[in-house]
Amino acid sequence: MTKGVIFDLDSTLCDSEGKAHDFGLQAMYESYSKEFPIEKDSFDLLFKEARSEIKREHKGMAASHERLFYIQRMIEKTHNTVIPELIIRHYLAYWDTLINHLELLPNTKEVLIELKKRGLKVCIVSNLTSFVQLRKIVKLGITTEVDYLVTSQEAGVEKPHPAIFLMALNKMELSPHEVFMVGDSLATDVEGANAAKIPSVWLKTDRDDNREMLKEVYPQHTIHNILELLSLIGN
């Protein structure tokens, strides 16, 4: 009997990697270019280079997703030093704007409400820092529908490491066979759930998730709309 559901947050419950991210990046560019003249294309390249470096240096850790480190690296590249007030300004410009434009994906609220009506526990497991994800949950208006949050910052490892899922199970006080893990990524959500012996549900979206490179990763269930989860769980 299903007693709980673990969800990924970004690109599963909300579109934080789409338009909201674009708005956030534009706000950061406008903040950056006010004191350091730079063309948008050059800025985008600088951001990508800084992000790639941080992800490589902190692979497998929450720090690899920390925009604060991306921006600090950008400042170090363009100013050859650390300028705290600029780093903080650009960081807030990005996150404040992104979160302001953040929206739940279609049918998400309805599904979360129905899960609560059925008495199921809901936990979000995310590869990001806790403060940012808490801000997103508040902005999305799902604080009463989400019972628990586990981030890679808290767990010390990121998906697909099974330890982050085991921490979620421990908070929920449930066994692997009593929950579903729902996410849009084969590489992190599905692979991690499979490793933790949790029934995996792949929410197949338009996001590019190269399955040809992940031939060994197979979800136990595949859905194309989050509403399908309700039928999968049953009454």
Cα–Cα distance for residue pair 99/97, rounded to 1 Å: 6
Domain end, chosen from 51, 74, 100, is at: 100
139 and 215 assigned to the same domain: yes
179 and 204 assigned to the same domain: yes
94 and 130 assigned to the same domain: no
222 phi-psi bin (left φ>0, alpha ψ -120 to 50, beta other): beta
Q: What is the pLDDT of residue 212?
A: 45
Cα–Cα distance for residue pair 231/223, rounded to 1 Å: 10
Q: What is the pLDDT of residue 134?
A: 97
CB 176 within 8 A of CB 170: no
Cα–Cα distance for residue pair 160/65, rounded to 1 Å: 15
43 and 11 assigned to the same domain: no
Instruction: State the Cα torsion 22-28-29-34 to the nearest 10°.
Output: 150
227 and 197 assigned to the same domain: yes
Q: What is the pLDDT of residue 209?
A: 54
157 and 171 assigned to the same domain: yes
118 and 189 assigned to the same domain: yes
What's the angle, vertex CA 115, arms to CA 112 and CA 119, rounded to 5?
140
Count how many Cα atoms sit within 13 Å of the Cα of residue 24 in the half-sphere of its side chain. 20
157 and 215 assigned to the same domain: yes
116 and 226 assigned to the same domain: yes
- pLDDT values of the chain reduced to their tens digit, one per residue, 235 residues: 899 999 999 999 999 988 999 999 999 999 999 989 999 999 999 999 999 999 999 987 878 889 999 999 999 999 999 999 999 999 999 999 999 999 999 999 999 999 999 999 999 999 989 999 999 999 999 999 999 999 999 999 999 999 999 999 999 999 999 999 999 999 999 999 999 999 999 999 876 555 445 557 899 999 999 999 999 997 6
Look at the pTM and tell me if it is higher than 0.85. Answer: yes
As beta bridge partners, residue 203 has 223
Domain end, chosen from 100, 125, 153, is at: 100
As given in the structure block, the two tokens for residue 220 are 């136990």
How many domains would you assign to the chain?
A: 2
Cα–Cα distance for residue pair 128/17, rounded to 1 Å: 13
141 and 92 assigned to the same domain: no
Q: Which residue range is the domain that position 133 belongs to? A: 4-15+105-233
